[in-house]
Structure 1
Amino acid sequence: MDAYRGFVMTLMAAELLNFNGLHKTFPTSSFWAFLAYQQDHVPWAGCSLHDLIQPSFSFLVGVALPYSVASQNAHGQPATAQFWRALRRSLILILLGIFLRSTHSEQTYFTFEDTLTQIGLGYPFLFLLGRTSTRTTWIAFGLILFGYWLAFILYPAGMTDFDYSAVGVPVNWPEQYTGLMAHFNKNSNLAWAFDRWFLNLFPRESPFLFNGGGYATLSFIPTLGTMLLGLQAGRWLRSGLSSSDVLKRFLMAGGIGLATGVLLHVAGICPIVKRIWTPAWVLFSGGWCFWLLALFYYVIDVAGRRGWAFPLVVVGMNSIAIYCLVHLIDRFIINSLYTHLGHGPFQIFGPAYEQLLMGAVTLGIFYFILRWMYRRKLFIRI
């Protein structure tokens, strides 16, 4: 679990390698085109490797919950105290997400689509459902997905005279849908309408009109569905099942999730869109999360090949630390390296590769910070 978490956090930090810049420099290179695509979010529907970072992180929060509850029970903590701890964790995650999104603003930037904030908004509900039966959890999962889908469908889709250019959507944008899936179009859906009201309740430099990426506060509701999938995975891991049975369940759940998500998209019922966390996205990305967890579980726990994963474990055991480091001091490190070393050392392979080398050095510095913390058993927990 720590290795999987370290893998996704490394993918997040690896944005510093700037594969997109190399793709622009070498537009005919299929190699850089592939890496650039996998290191960025798709415009709307679909999925890249980068799109799996947030669902994986959310999924692993669910996987960890049964272990956390068992540990607290073993220490004799009553359920009420555990719930208040969950609420405290939720509040810290929400505020930390807002803080990190505000670091380059003139005032507090109240936004709730950050990964930490989204997890924080759903965490108390995850905790409560984590204390129920498996049957209740699956019923809640189904109600969340169906209810979220139905709410979008009941909200009027953008009419033919809707001015999409006023909400940051280009004219004739190829990602626009018609029919039933038009209810999930960018910045003309239920979640966008909610944020037009909700986000303007907070102090802002200017009124909120739309999110440029189409991200939305209400995504925390289906994100809870992703965390519930992780909760079930954690229950299977702690159930006493044989490793082969656990793997079979992971692979089967992953296959069902992927197939169902694709079917909903192809049938025109619900698109696979991460930015508003559609139900089809919950199923599709959840399928990948089950398969990725199965891969790490098999290689590390079943096959016993642990040595190679140590760097990932170092990162994964301090996931909050690396998340904050990347958001807070990446530019400080880069500017400091340029101040004291200049550009020359980072152009040894040519100017085109300067950002790649600088990103690699910055990632190395982050890793040594985390390694230092790991050796001294300094782990940031919320």
Structure 2
Amino acid sequence: MDAYRGFVMVLMAAELLDFQRLHEAFPDNAFWAFLGHHQSHVAWAGCSLHDLIQPSFSFLVGVALPYSIASRITQGQSVKAQFGHALRRSLILILLGIFLRSTHKEQTNFTFEDTLTQIGLGYPFLFLLGRTSPKTTWVAFSMILVLYWLAFVLYPLPGTNFDYSQVGVAADWPEHYTGLMAHFNKNSNLAWAFDTWFLNLFPRAKPFLFNGGGYATLSFIPTLGTMILGLQAGRWLRLGLAPRVLITWFLIAGAIGLASGILLHIVGICPIVKRIWTPAWVLFSGGWCFWLLTLFYYVIDVTQHRNWAFPLVVVGMNSIAIYCLVHLIDRFIINSFYIHLGHAPFLIFGPAYEQLLIGASTLGVFYLILRWMYRRKLFIRI
């Protein structure tokens, strides 16, 4: 679990390598094109490896919950005390997400689509579900997906005069859907409408009209569905099942999620869109999360090949630390390299590779910080 979490955080931090820049410098190079695609988010529907970072992080929050609850029960904590901790953790995650998104802004940037705020908004509900039976959990999961889909479908479609240019979308954008799936079009859906009301309740430099990426506050509801899938995975892990049985369950769960998500997309019921966390996305990305967890479980716990994963464990055990480091001091480290070493060491392979080398050096500094914290058993927990 720590290695999987570390893998996810490395993918996030690796944005500093900027493979897309190399793809632009060498447009005919299939290698850089492949890496550039999987280090960026798809425009709307579909999925890249980069799109699996946030669902994986959310999924792993659910996986860890049964272990956390069991530990606190062993310590003799009451349910009230445990729920109080869940509420505090939720508030800290929300405030930390807002703080990090406000860096370099002129005033507090009240936004709630960040990974931390999304998890924070759903965490108290996840905790309550973690105290229920698996049957109740699955019922709640199903209701979340069905009711969220229904709410979108019942929200009226924009009129023929709707000016998409006013919400940051070209009128002829190829990602526009018709029919039932049109209810999930970018910046003309229920979640967008909610944010044009909700986000304007907070102090802003100018009124909120739309999110450029189409991300939305209400995504925390289906994100809870992703965390519930992780919760069930964590319960299975704690059952003490034979590895072959556990792997089979994980593989089947992943296949069901992938197949059902793709089917909903193909038949035109619900598109696979990460940016508004559609129900089809919950199922599709959840399937990948189950399969990725299976891979790490098999390699590390079953075959006992652990040494290679040590750097990932170092990162994964301090996921909040690396998340904050990347958001707060990446530019400071890069500027420090340039101030003290100049640009020459990073131009050794030519200008096209400068960002790759300076990014790799910055990642190296992050790892040294986390390795130092690991050796001294300094782990940031919320």
- With the shorter chain as reference, the TM-score category is over 0.9
* Cα distance between partner residues in 1 of 2:173 and 2:158: 14
Q: What corresponds to 2:180 in structure 1? A: 180
Q: 2:215 matched to which residue of 1? A: 215
- Using the TM superposition, give the Cα deviation of residue 329 of structure 1 relative to its aligned residue in structure 2, in angstroms: 0.2
Partner of 1:357 in structure 2? 357
Unaligned runs of 5+ in 1: none
Which secondary structure state, in structure 1, belongs to the residue aligned with residue 379 of structure 2?
Answer: coil
Counterpart residue number, 1:298: 298
Q: What is aligned with 1:6?
A: 6
What residue identity is the alignment partner of 2:269?
Answer: I
Shift of 1:104: 1.4
Deviation at 1:59, TM superposition (A): 0.0
Match of 1:153 in 2: 153
Deviation readout 1:177-236 (Å, 9 max, x if unpaired): 000000000000000000000000000000000000000000000000000000000000
Give, in angstroms, the shift of residue 158 of structure 1.
2.1
TM-score of the two chains, using structure 1 as the length reference = 1.00
Per the alignment, residue 369 of structure 2 pairs with 369
The aligned counterpart of 1:137 is 137
2:207 partner amino acid: P
Counterpart code for 2:210: F
Give the letter for the 1:128 counterpart.
L
Q: After TM superposition, where is structure 1 displaced by more than 6 Å over at least 4 residues in a row?
A: none
For each residue in 1:116-171, what CA deviation from the matched residue of structure 2 results, as whole angstroms up to 9, or x when unmatched?
00000000000000000000000000000000000000001122221101000012
The aligned counterpart of 1:283 is 283
Aligned to 1:228: 228
| Mapped partners of 1:166, 1:26: distance in 2 | 35
Q: Aligned letter for 1:251?
A: L
Q: Which residue of 2 aligns with 1:57?
A: 57
Structure 1 vs Structure 2 CA RMSD: 0.5
Cα deviation for residue 30 of structure 1 reads 1.2
Give the structure 2 partner of residue 325 of structure 1: 325
Give the Å deviation of 1:113: 0.2
| SS class of match (2:188) | coil
CA contact (8 A) 1:158 1:182 kept: no
**In the TM superposition, what are the counterparts of 1:34-113 in structure 2 within 5 Å?**
34-113=34-113
Write the distance in 1 (CA, Å) between the matches of 2:348 and 2:112. Answer: 42
SS in 1 for 2:170: coil
Task: Report the Cα distance in structure 1 between the residues aligned to 2:285 and 2:161, rounded to whole angstroms.
Answer: 34
Aligned length: 382
Structure 2: distance between partners of 1:238 and 1:35: 36
Report deviation, 1:242: 1.0
Aligned twin of 1:309: 309
TM-score (norm 2): 1.00
Q: Distance in 1 between matches of 2:158 and 2:246?
A: 45
Tell me the equivalent position of 1:252: 252
Name the aligned partner's letter for residue 14 of structure 2. Answer: A
Q: Please tell me whether the aligned partners of residues 27 and 33 of structure 2 are also in contact (alpha carbons under 8 angstroms).
A: yes
CA distance in 2, matches of 1:241, 1:159: 54
The aligned counterpart of 1:32 is 32
